[in-house]
Amino acid sequence: MSDFRVVVSDTKTGKAYQIEVSGASAGTFIGKTIGSEVDGSAVGLAGYTLKITGGSDKGGFPMRNTLPGSMRRKLLVTGGCGFHPGEGGLRKRRSIRGSEIAGDIVQINTTIANYGSTPVDSLLGGDSDEDSGGES
């Protein structure tokens, strides 16, 4: 079974949480595509719904929602995910991963689509004093 690093972005607070998922919880993500909604209990967010927004594979190549399947392909792109041109009219051939999650994917990016009754910080154990800088 595959292991994933799931990045959950909370759009209300602007925070992101990284969660390591393996075993049966990782199996819930296999076969899903970008834009699919997944139950949050797979990452410890009971009562929440997560929307898959992207990800990257073990080589660091990003997923793109316009490319069907799970294979890595070379595309001539003008912008968007995987290529950000410095000037207009620029095109480049880039290796891009398809929109389906397979065993080669390492990181899955998600946002919270539907919130539950408990706050995200209490469920995921967010540190509120993380940005203190170590000064007392």
Write down the pTM of the prediction.
0.85
Q: What's residue 73's pLDDT?
A: 94
Average pLDDT of the segment spanning 101-118: 93
Q: What's residue 101's pLDDT?
A: 95
Q: What's residue 132's pLDDT?
A: 41
pLDDT digits (tens, 9 = 90+) for 56-99: 999 999 999 989 999 999 999 998 888 889 888 999 999 999 99
* 126 located within any domain: no
* 136 located within any domain: no
Say how far apart CA 136 and CA 20 lie, in whole Å: 31
| Surface-to-core class of residue 107, CB atoms within 10 Å of its CB (0-12 exposed, 13-18 middle, 19+ buried) | middle
* 83 located within any domain: no
pLDDT digits (tens, 9 = 90+) for 39-50: 999 998 999 999
Q: What's residue 50's pLDDT?
A: 95
Say how far apart CA 89 and CA 77 lie, in whole Å: 11
Quote the domain boundaries for residue 58: 4-65+99-115
Number of domains into which the chain is organized? 1
* 94 located within any domain: no
Phi-psi region of 66 (alpha: psi -120 to 50; beta: other; left: phi over 0): alpha
